[in-house]
Homo-oligomer: A and B are copies of this chain.
Amino acid sequence: MPFTVPVADQARLLEHVVGIEGLAQHERFAHADPETVEAVLEGAASFAEGEFLPLHRIGDEVGAKLEDGVVTMPPGYREAYRAFVDAGWMTLSAPTDFGGQAMPLALSAALMENLNATNIGFALCPMLSLGAVEALEAHGSDELKARYLDKIVSGEWPATMNLTEPQAGSDVGALTSKAEPAGDGSWRISGQKIYITYGEHDLADNIIHLVLARTPGAPEGTRGISLFLVPKILPDGSRNDLVCTGLEEKLGIHASPTCVMRYGENGGATGWMVGPENGGMRAMFTMMNNARLNVGLQGVGLAERATQEAVAYALDRTQGMRGGRPTAIAEHPDVRRMLMRMRALTMGARALCYYAFGCIDKGETGDTEAALRAEVLIPMAKAWSTDVGVEVASLGIQVHGGMGYIEETGAAQHLRDARIAPIYEGTNGIQAADLVGRKLGLDGGLAFDGLIADVHADTQDERLMALADVIEQTATMLREAAPDHKLAGSYPFLDMCSVMVAAWLLEKVAIATDDPRTKAASEYFLSVLVPEALGKGAAASAGAEILYSVPAETLA
């Protein structure tokens, strides 16, 4: 199916939601002038359409293969990855000191969205490297940076994140991988890690693993975790003591090798500590914050792709009559309802994610309020956008009818691919817990309250005001509530907040631009999605009693 990156939508958001021209007034982003931004948007679209899109199906059908510890990517992936590196796409938002272009993350978001839309399984490789760049830049020693950072920035050596162990998933603090000092400043790492995305592959000559492990005598839990850089190939050219022992058979993202990794089976893999001892969680959060937003963009990208394909199919497929003539199914009201819902949700999720990235960028220019706003938005952008990705992909199947259930059509793959995003980089439940647990109280509550105040100040719509009012009341209640009550309401609360922000942003863009489809999406939000979100208010404030009225065993 053809796919066209919605460059005009992206540009509209950068202008009216991110305020990229304002960012370019600052020294930090002075090079993000309008001409450059336009060129990057056009170039990122062409690259994704030309290089990543054609490899999408083969990635699903052939997938990554493991034999004797060697992971082989599907045909064409090596060449396309090379093209990606050579064109400098990996360097877009990276720091200039290490060969990066230091562009705003909000602009990089457009690139990542495109890669996700055209080939999510492939896009995971650069996505993980982005997180590693940030962690290493913020916490790595000068020596480590000098040795590794420019190679990761360029994409020459892709990087990975090694957190999860069989007993330590959402509970990262339960991990048991070990690091012993080698005496020469390096460490010997040993342990098993699972679900390591791109833990092994043949796209590059080296792979740089960032691994969480415990040093001798480290405290229990998250306070005793340190971060290590563990390269596949050591500086002397020898192979490090690490190996991929298995690939998971997954529902989707087959192009992406999900590896079981074993470190130190022969005495210990050599690694170097990143940041201070027992400071691994902080370094990890540096990686994860932006990674979470990038996962949100997976939802956006897949939703865009599924929407375009569903509309194209519905315009082409004739069934039944309207006004006495055979008609395309896109004209039938309930099909149109699905298409409109898909389009509106996609645009809303994109607006939310770009806005969050834009707030991080503003924070980089010294705007601390914007930096705090980003913190509040991140769990919404990750969780809601990935839920949107699943819903829109599922609607895409429905629009295709029986054809949607046949793999050949491609609609089913989007659902299979989309379904991982609510799980990894912190499950959506973890995001909701973060919103009510940390973000609601950030800056004494001002960070969250400022968001509500902005919505109230801007919107001209009574339905959206009503939603903002309910959210405000619920927030007050949740702040006072016992932890279980807070958590019991966290998921519906996150949903409501996300819809509020998306509706607010789309309304702003619709008013500013008069763009027909933004207006249509905005009106759909206000008429349908905002009232729907209001319906979740009861669950957000219902408390935990109804969940614990019977023992969990009784639910089996």
Q: Which residues of A contact B (CB under 8 A)?
A: 164, 167, 169-171, 174, 194-195, 248-252, 307-308, 311-312, 314-315, 318-320, 328-340, 342-343, 390, 394, 397-398, 401-402, 404-408, 412, 415-416, 419-420, 422-424, 427-429, 432-433, 463, 484, 487-488, 490-491, 516-517, 519-520, 523-524, 527-528, 531-539, 542, 544, 546-550, 552-556
**Known contacts A312-B556, A520-B550, A539-B527: A333-B419 contact under CB 8 Å:** no
Bound Cα distance A153, B242 (Å): 62
Nearest B residue (CB) for A312: B556
Bound Cα distance A527, B547 (Å): 11
Are B555 and A343 in contact, with the CB atoms below 8 A?
yes
Are B428 and A398 in contact, with the CB atoms below 8 A?
yes
B308, B331, B416: the one contacting A251 at CB < 8 Å is B416
The 30 sampled A-B contact pairs (Cβ below 8 Å) are: A170-B329, A174-B319, A195-B402, A249-B406, A250-B407, A252-B405, A307-B555, A311-B552, A315-B552, A328-B552, A334-B433, A334-B491, A336-B488, A340-B546, A340-B555, A394-B419, A398-B422, A398-B427, A404-B423, A412-B419, A416-B416, A463-B538, A517-B550, A517-B555, A523-B546, A527-B539, A527-B542, A528-B542, A531-B537, A534-B535
| 10 closest residue pairs by CB, A with B | A535-B535, A531-B538, A333-B487, A330-B552, A334-B429, A311-B556, A251-B412, A171-B319, A528-B539, A343-B555
- B contact residues around A320 at 8 Å (CB): 170-171
- B contact residues around A433 at 8 Å (CB): 334
- B contact residues around A390 at 8 Å (CB): 394
A142 to chain B, nearest CB (A): 36
B307, B423, B538: the one contacting A398 at CB < 8 Å is B423
B318, B406, B555: the one contacting A311 at CB < 8 Å is B555
B251, B398, B428, B524: the one contacting A546 at CB < 8 Å is B524
Bound Cα distance A548, B339 (Å): 11
- B contact residues around A334 at 8 Å (CB): 429, 432-433, 487-488, 490-491
Nearest B residue (CB) for A344: B555
**Known contacts A311-B556, A555-B339: A248-B487 contact under CB 8 Å:** no
B342, B422, B552: the one contacting A314 at CB < 8 Å is B552
Are A336 and B547 in contact, with the CB atoms below 8 A?
yes
Are A170 and B520 in contact, with the CB atoms below 8 A?
no
Interface centre among A343, A538, A546, A556 (most CB of B within 10 A): A556
Bound Cα distance A215, B115 (Å): 53
A314 to chain B, nearest CB (A): 7
- B contact residues around A419 at 8 Å (CB): 394, 397, 405, 412, 415
Are A423 and B405 in contact, with the CB atoms below 8 A?
yes
Are B420 and A405 in contact, with the CB atoms below 8 A?
yes
A465 to chain B, nearest CB (A): 15
B339, B404, B535: the one contacting A531 at CB < 8 Å is B535
- B contact residues around A404 at 8 Å (CB): 423
- B contact residues around A336 at 8 Å (CB): 488, 544, 547-548, 552
- B contact residues around A552 at 8 Å (CB): 311, 314-315, 328, 330-331, 336, 339
- B contact residues around A248 at 8 Å (CB): 405-406
Bound Cα distance A107, B319 (Å): 37
Nearest B residue (CB) for A429: B334
- B contact residues around A484 at 8 Å (CB): 333
B174, B318, B488, B536: the one contacting A535 at CB < 8 Å is B536
Known: A170-B319, A251-B397, A528-B542. 7 other contacts (CB 8 A): A332-B429, A338-B429, A339-B552, A401-B427, A520-B549, A531-B536, A535-B536
